Amino acid sequence: MKKSFFLILFFIVIKLFGQVTPTQNPGLVKDPFFNNPNPKKEASKKVQHKHSDNFGVKADKYEGNPVFSGNVMFEQQGSILTADEVVFYQKENFLKAIGNVVLTTTDGSKITAEEMEYDGNTERGIAKRNVVLTDPKQTIKTETLYYDKIPNTAYFNTGGTIYSNDGSVMYTKTATYHLNTKMIDFIGRSNIETDKYTIVSDNIKTNQNTGVSDFFGPTTIRAKDNPRNYVYTELGTHNSKTNESFLNKNSRIHYNEKVLTGDKLYFNRNTGFGKGTGNVTLDDPKEKRYIKGGYGEIYEKKDSAMVTDKPYLVKVLSKDSVYMSADKFLSFQKPDSANALKKKSFVRAFRKVRIFKPNMQGRADSLSFNETDGEMHLMRKPMLWMGAKQITGDEIRIYSDPEKEITDSIRVLGNAFAISKADSLNLKDEFNQIKSKNMIVYLKDNSIDIAKAVGNAQAITYADDTNEKTKEVTRIGVALSTCGEIVAHFIERRLEQVDCNVGANSDIYPMSKVSKDERFFKDFNWNTKDRPQKWGDIFLDTPNYPEIVYESDNSLFERADAERKKLEEKNKPKTPTRVKK
């Protein structure tokens, strides 16, 4: 009974197992890279076995395809593949190489790896593990490399390092190398390291023959000796042989804590020379100042720059800003003579200088500005306006406190002439005038406090008397002064007192005794048409505003003069009448 049970069980097991489908060998499975053959008129030739130490076939392995081992060599149309072991899928014209794999192309380039698959029909290969591609221009290292013989390109997307023969090193995740043209197309964020600078870009194409790299995305080229000096662009070209960069979109050159921008920029890293055209801006954040124009140049090594083509300068202050225009601006840095570790910043402007600040306006032929010390020189026919006051001379120097942003004093050298409206609230032609060889004006709270005229000083000033009770101001006359030094005191922007020192000769005359002509110096030049009234006026040679028409009242003098003439006529001796005999 027991024996019969086991016999029945045996037949059941045999029947069950007999119903199971035998395991099928899936055959050769190729990477999709091999499934897209290159368009080619002629069919590819079979790969040829040239040498191997051993040969064998195992029916249970590699689908019965031959396996070659020991110094294996295969060849196809000039390309040579060597390895420790190669499986040759004869029907598919396909190779699997294992161990010390080397593929030498017809142009002499070599691809080494631990493993490689090669399709003789599409002439494509995939190298894996410790892959190295070498040619006369560079060496590429990655973990997986896709090689296409017909266009002669190599591609990787597993991250790779490229060592160029010029010493530069490139890092990228994805790239295509065109072996014929020596062009490398980097895709995604990539780095190029040289001994002098680093390039970081989202899209680079580099020609290893010419050394030219083209950028098609955000790109930074940063100096290694001073990382704060760099260029940025979103479309441009860099030549590694000449170290020249051509930047064409959203570009900037950062140098010595300054920034040059423009529609198109050029920079030579060897010489430190750069230039920009179209909407150029030279920004100096440290000085809170920028210059705009149509064309600009920078000299990194000299720490200087130039802006032309309708340029203008804006210096941003805490409460307002200073606007200047000229035909050309120069900016530069110089070592501080008192401290070699510090630098002083300077600006120079040439031809048709125009200045606008809410509480001060000016014009001159040229300008020199020491931004660090706050000293500005206006030269050649300078003219300065402050409120209802005007200052002219051969040269005007303005001294300010850069930290407090206030003007301390103004010096006028040569032919100094200061004019102020006697009463800014009316339109009478009454002006206080002070002339001298030189003049210094002291300011308080950005308003004139004291004016000191030295050397052949002359003054025409209006004398007023203030009623202490009613505070009413009454005009009492005109003071004519000539002396070696004149000191004028201003209170609340009004001329309050004039002191005549050194050889003083000063008298006050009532209005009835001073004619209109005597109330003005011969070179009186009160100018309202050329004075900028808004910042946009700096772009004009002159805003050419209508001259202000002032009321002239000479009636007191004319009546008094008429009375004087009558009196003179009356007091004339009478001529005796001759009587004929």
User: Tens digit of pLDDT for each residue in 507-544?
Assistant: 788 776 777 788 888 889 899 999 999 999 999 999 99
In whole angstroms, give the CA distance from residue 31 to residue 235.
Answer: 36
| pLDDT: which is higher, 166 or 173 | 173
Task: Please give the helix or strand (H or E) that residue 116 lies within, else none.
Answer: strand 110-119
pLDDT category, 64, cuts 50, 70, 90? Answer: confident
The amino acid occupying position 45 is: K
Query: Tokens at residue 520, please?
Result: 């003005």
Structure confidence at residue 405 (pLDDT): 84
**42-158, what's its fold?**
lipopolysaccharide transport protein A fold (2.60.450)
Q: Which residue is associated with the tokens 């007192």?
A: 497
DSSP 252-302: EEEETTEEEEESEEEEETTTTEEEEEEEEEEEEGGGTEEEEEEEEEEETTT
pLDDT category, 184, cuts 50, 70, 90? Answer: very high
Question: Virtual CA dihedral for 31, 35, 41, 44, nearest 10 degrees?
Answer: 40
Minimal CA–CA distance to 277: which of 288, 290, 289, 292?
292
Q: What is the mean pLDDT of residues 28-55?
A: 79
Its pTM surpasses 0.85? no
Map residue 102 onto helix, strand or coil: strand
At 94-129, the pLDDT tens digits run: 999 999 999 998 888 999 999 999 999 899 999 999
Structure confidence at residue 6 (pLDDT): 39
At 479-503, the pLDDT tens digits run: 888 888 888 777 655 666 677 776 6
In whole angstroms, give the CA distance from residue 73 to residue 82.
Answer: 4
In whole angstroms, give the CA distance from residue 178 to residue 185.
Answer: 8
pLDDT category, 17, cuts 50, 70, 90? Answer: very low
Q: Which residues contact 255 (CB under 8 A, 6 or more apart)?
A: 229, 272, 274, 298, 300
pLDDT category, 18, cuts 50, 70, 90? Answer: very low
In whole angstroms, give the CA distance from residue 355 to residue 58.
Answer: 94
Structure confidence at residue 350 (pLDDT): 96
pLDDT category, 145, cuts 50, 70, 90? Answer: very high
Quote the mean pLDDT of the chain: 85
Query: Tokens at residue 88, please?
Result: 């040759």
In whole angstroms, give the CA distance from residue 447 to residue 493.
Answer: 7
- Among 451-455, 531-535, 575-579, name the one with the lowest average pLDDT: 575-579
Q: Does domain 374-580 have CATH number 2.60.450.10?
A: yes
Query: Tokens at residue 475, please?
Result: 């005009």
Q: Which residue is associated with the tokens 């010096």?
A: 411
Contact 432, 410 (CB under 8 A): no
At 356-408, the pLDDT tens digits run: 999 899 999 999 999 999 999 999 999 999 888 899 999 999 999 888 888 88
Number of Cβ within 10 Å of residue 501's Cβ equals 14
Q: Could you report how far apart the first and last alpha carbons of the chain are, in Å?
A: 207
Range(s) within the chain of domains with CATH label 2.60.450.10:
42-158, 374-580
